[in-house]
């Protein structure tokens, strides 16, 4: 801190004022604290006596209730009340001092101890069915309790008298303390006013000129000049820095304009890149959707031709109707979302075609909860999984197998699962499926439908949805698609 500067002057004057106010406040606080503690002790003693009387009354009541009814509930209540009373008795001041209230507390403590002993004796006699003994011990306990209450009343009277005397002394002393504190505050206020008036003009006048210059710059008047300052303090330094800042404003504006043009160009380029990325994802979805297994179409059409030759035209018409509906559904826009109801209708048509082709070799069990039928989902995610289960999961099973399709709602999502009873997948095959779906350079060996679904779920839900694969060798594979409701709900 530089001597003679504005900061030094303000700090020095403020320190004097704060010191006076601090001394006055400390004096008042300490005096009030000492007085309040003395009064608090007396009132706290009264509270202890009051709690002791309440505990004694509760203990007597629960003891009488037990001796009358001899119930387990009343015995437990007596034990709780007597335990609390014993704890409060231990808080009494039993020191040896020539003080009337202390002597009374010692006497009360002895009476309370005697009461608890007689009360416990009456309980034991009651439990032993000794009527004369528990009646005698109960009467002795009541006598001790009455004497204790009488002494507690005398103690409370003594505490109350001491409290009133202490409060009277506190009231008289606090008035004197407040008067002296008021005098100190008035003196500090007058001194601070004198000091502030003396330096107010010296500080505010150059600051006013600096503020006027700042307002002029705010209006765009960069040629406004500040008058020279005679003092060598912080205000003069600020004025000099302000002048330098004004000279640099124009240069800064030019740089900002240049940066704004660059940012505008970069933003346009970013928008173009985002548009290209969007179109790339749409093209990738279209490419994934067009990967329909040509062998399936060929074999199915062959089966339809054979069927037309060996059966009536009605069944062939049904076959062609299902096939056309399936192809029409599969070749619609790839970026759409559909209802689970529509997705399951497509899957059931596909299953009909498979059963036509394989007969009883493959069995299908499809159960969809009603509350997910009208939920939106990416198109063509169930049929490819069913196709994958039949062509890969059951291809080595001569006797065929079972394919199970389930869809249900879970907290915050829906789960669609397709399970087969085929040979299963090992860890390497599962890892390969996920790697190929993310675009890794892994040799593709079947399972195009599975990779298709993984990629479509990732793209359609922006990475929020996921595909899970659980498989046990020789016992089949379960592929589950989890779609968050906030992403797929209509």
pLDDT digits (tens, 9 = 90+) for 344-385: 999 998 899 888 888 778 899 999 999 999 998 988 889 889
Contact (CB, 8 A) for 385 and 449: yes
pLDDT reading at 170 higher than 90: no
- Which 8-state DSSP code applies to residue 394? S
The mean pLDDT value for 323-327 works out to 72
- pTM reported for the whole predicted model: 0.41
pLDDT band at 480 (very low <50, low <70, confident <90, very high): very high
How far is residue 300's CA from residue 349's CA, in Å, rounded to a whole number?
Answer: 12
Contact (CB, 8 A) for 433 and 450: yes
Pick the residue with more confidence: 188 or 58?
58
How far is residue 464's CA from residue 268's CA, in Å, rounded to a whole number?
Answer: 29
pLDDT reading at 139 higher than 80: yes
What confidence score (pLDDT) does residue 198 get?
75
What confidence score (pLDDT) does residue 405 get?
95
Instruction: Give the percent of the chain with pLDDT over 70.
Output: 69
Residues of the chain with CATH 3.30.565.10: 292-488
pLDDT reading at 442 higher than 60: no
Helix residue ranges, H only, 290-311: 294-310
Give the least confident one: 206-215, 272-281, 287-296: 287-296
What residues contact 136, with CB distance under 8 A and at least 6 apart?
Answer: none
Of the segments 81-95, 157-171, 445-459, which one has the largest average pLDDT value? Answer: 81-95
What residues contact 322, with CB distance under 8 A and at least 6 apart?
Answer: 349, 352, 353
Contact (CB, 8 A) for 416 and 378: no
Residue 371 has which token pair? 């509350």
How far is residue 394's CA from residue 88's CA, in Å, rounded to a whole number?
Answer: 82
Residues of the chain with CATH 1.20.1440.210: 6-195
Q: Quick one: fold of 6-195?
A: de novo design (two linked rop proteins) (1.20.1440)
Closest to 448 measured CA to CA, from 289, 280, 286? 289
What residues contact 210, with CB distance under 8 A and at least 6 apart?
Answer: 226, 235, 238, 239, 242
**Can you spell out the DSSP letters for 422-462?**
SS---HHHHHHHHHHHTT------S-HHHHHHHHHHHHHTT
How far is residue 357's CA from residue 432's CA, in Å, rounded to a whole number?
Answer: 30
pLDDT reading at 275 higher than 80: no
Average pLDDT over the chain reads 76
What confidence score (pLDDT) does residue 490 get?
43
| pLDDT tens-digit map of 280-322 | 566 455 545 555 554 565 566 556 656 666 666 666 767 767 7
Classify residue 281 by burial, with Cβ atoms within 10 Å: 0-12, 13-18, 19+: middle
Backbone region of residue 474 per phi and psi (left: phi > 0; alpha: psi in -120 to 50; beta: other values): left
For 292-488, CATH gives 3.30.565.10
pLDDT reading at 175 higher than 60: yes
The mean pLDDT value for 46-70 works out to 80
Backbone region of residue 400 per phi and psi (left: phi > 0; alpha: psi in -120 to 50; beta: other values): left
Contact (CB, 8 A) for 408 and 367: no
Closest to 59 measured CA to CA, from 82, 33, 36? 82
The mean pLDDT value for 194-208 works out to 73
pLDDT reading at 420 higher than 80: yes
How far is residue 84's CA from residue 54's CA, in Å, rounded to a whole number?
Answer: 10
pLDDT reading at 42 higher than 60: no
Residue 454 has which token pair? 């993984």
């Amino acid at each position: 801190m530089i001597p003679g500067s504005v900061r030094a002057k303000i700090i020095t004057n403020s320190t004097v004022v704060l010191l006076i106010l601090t001394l006055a406040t400390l004096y008042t606080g300490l005096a009030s604290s000492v007085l309040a503690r003395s009064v608090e002790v007396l009132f706290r003693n009264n509270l202890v006596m009051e709690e002791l009387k309440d505990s004694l009354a509760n203990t007597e009541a629960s003891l009488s209730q037990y001796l009358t009814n001899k119930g387990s509930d009343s015995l437990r209540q007596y034990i709780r009340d007597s335990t609390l009373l014993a704890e409060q008795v231990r808080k009494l001041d039993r020191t040896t001092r020539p003080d009337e209230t202390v002597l009374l507390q010692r006497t009360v403590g002895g009476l309370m101890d005697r009461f608890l002993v007689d009360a416990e004796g009456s309980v034991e006699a009651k439990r032993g069915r000794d009527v004369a003994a528990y009646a005698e011990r109960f009467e002795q306990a009541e006598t001790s309790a009455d004497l204790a209450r009488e002494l507690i009343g005398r103690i409370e009277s003594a505490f109350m008298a001491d409290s009133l005397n202490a409060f009277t002394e506190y009231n008289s002393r606090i008035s004197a303390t407040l008067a002296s504190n008021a005098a100190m505050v008035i003196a500090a206020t007058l001194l601070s006013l004198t000091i502030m008036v003396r330096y107010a003009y010296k500080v505010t006048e150059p600051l006013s000129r600096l503020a006027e210059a700042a307002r002029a710059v705010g209006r765009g008047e960069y040629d406004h000049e500040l008058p020279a300052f005679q003092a060598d303090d912080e205000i003069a330094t600020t004025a000099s820095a302000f002048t330098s800042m004004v000279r640099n404003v124009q240069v800064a504006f030019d740089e900002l304009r240049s940066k704004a043009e660059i940012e505008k160009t970069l933003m346009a380029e970013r928008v173009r890149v985002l548009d290209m990325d969007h179109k790339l994802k749409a093209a990738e979805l279209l490419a994934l959707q067009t990967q329909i297994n040509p062998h399936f179409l060929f074999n199915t059409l062959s089966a339809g031709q054979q069927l037309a030759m060996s059966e009536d035209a009605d069944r062939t018409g049904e076959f062609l109707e299902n096939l056309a509906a399936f192809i029409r559904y599969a070749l619609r826009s790839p970026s759409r979302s559909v209802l689970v109801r529509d997705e399951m209708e497509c899957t059931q048509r596909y299953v009909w075609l498979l059963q036509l082709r394989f007969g009883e070799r493959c069995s299908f069990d499809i159960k969809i909860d009603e509350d997910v039928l009208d939920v939106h989902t990416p198109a063509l995610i169930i049929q490819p999984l069913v196709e994958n289960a039949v062509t890969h999961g059951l291809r080595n099973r001569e006797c065929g197998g079972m394919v199970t399709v389930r869809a249900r709602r879970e907290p915050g999502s829906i789960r669609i699962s397709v399970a087969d009873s085929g040979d299963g997948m090992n860890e390497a095959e599962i890892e390969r499926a996920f790697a190929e779906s993310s675009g890794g350079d892994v040799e593709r060996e079947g399972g195009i439908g599975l990779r298709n679904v993984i990629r479509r779920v990732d793209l359609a839900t922006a990475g929020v949805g996921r595909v899970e694969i659980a498989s046990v060798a020789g016992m089949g594979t379960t592929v589950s698609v989890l779609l968050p409701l906030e992403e797929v709900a209509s």
